[in-house]
Amino acid sequence: MKWLKTFFWMVVFFFAIHFSIQNKDEVSLRYAIQNYQLFEVLKIPLFIVILCSVFLGTFIGGISDLYGRFKLKKTLRQNQKTIERLERELHSLRGPIFDLPSFLAKKNE
């Protein structure tokens, strides 16, 4: 499986290099808000603009995914604590007299 991962990254790297070689023409970038120009004309190769855009999009998507995962973990922990609390309450209400049916009893193996 490790060789498959290595092969995949080699192919990605090859296509990135090939893409960069074919798109080395310079483009002019400007950014202005109304009449205030934040930076003058920057001339950089097209492949840098595209690869930086892809990287930035992937980074922002990764951050939002991490946020979602942490939120789900927090909800899972809260639900587990609630389940444990409710099980303790159920056990205290039943008392030692009542036993669980065989299909609900925990197996101690």
Q: Which pTM was predicted?
A: 0.58
Could you report the per-residue pLDDT of 50-109, keeping only the tens digit for each? Answer: 888 889 999 999 999 999 999 999 999 999 999 999 988 888 887 655 566 666 666 654
By CB atoms closer than 10 A (0-12, 13-18, 19+), residue 37 is: exposed
Residue 43 has pLDDT above 70, yes or no: yes
d(C-alpha 109, C-alpha 91), whole Å:
21
Which residues share a beta bridge with 39?
31
